[in-house]
């Protein structure tokens, strides 16, 4: 992962999952508008951000409050999405493939979508945080 300074396309994640997901998607939409992304790429970015952040809240259970951040950057290869959270360690590169979404709640397709639309550029656990870097391919 590269080290970055100030980034206007950063939002903090906190104990309020629905509000944090909303802020993250709003950041993705603002980024898409500022960088004049195509409607298709804008939609993919918003969906990837929503899925990735939602997964943190649904599967990253922690003792105490969940916290972290999301950052978006233009990158020569596409759009860099950095997601950090203090949830349980989870490397999406090592997760098993699954055949279909969860029939009871409709979920389970998020990781497959992330893998299809983005490159998982890096994952590591550092100072109690998961650090995931995705590159949405344009």
What are the extents of the domains in the chain?
10-137
Is the distance from CB of 83 to CB of 134 less than 8 angstroms?
yes
Rounded distance, CA 45 to CA 75, Å? 14
The pLDDT value given to residue 104: 61
Q: Of 107 and 55, which is predicted with more confidence? A: 55
Specify whether domain 10-137 bears CATH 3.90.870.10. Answer: no
pLDDT digits (tens, 9 = 90+) for 49-100: 999 999 999 888 777 788 999 999 998 889 999 999 999 998 988 877 655 5
Is the distance from CB of 70 to CB of 24 less than 8 angstroms?
yes
Q: pLDDT band for 8, please (50, 70, 90 cuts).
A: confident
- Output the average pLDDT for the chain: 87
Q: Of 104 and 34, which is predicted with more confidence? A: 34
- Reading the block at residue 74, the tokens are 């233009």
């Amino acid at each position: 992962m590269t080290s970055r300074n100030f980034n206007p396309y950063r939002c903090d994640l906190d104990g309020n999952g629905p509000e944090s997901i909303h802020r993250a998607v709003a950041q993705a939409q603002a980024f898409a508008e500022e960088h004049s992304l195509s409607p298709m790429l804008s939609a993919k970015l918003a969906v990837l951000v929503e899925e990735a952040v939602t997964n943190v809240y649904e599967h990253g259970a922690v003792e105490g409050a969940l916290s972290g951040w999301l950052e978006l950057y233009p990158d020569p290869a596409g759009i860099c999405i950095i997601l950090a959270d203090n949830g349980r360690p989870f490397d999406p590169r090592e997760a098993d493939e699954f055949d279909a979404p969860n029939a009871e709640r409709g979920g389970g397709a998020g990781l497959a979508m992330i893998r299809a639309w983005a490159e998982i550029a890096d994952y590591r656990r550092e100072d109690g945080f998961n650090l995931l870097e995705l590159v949405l391919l344009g």
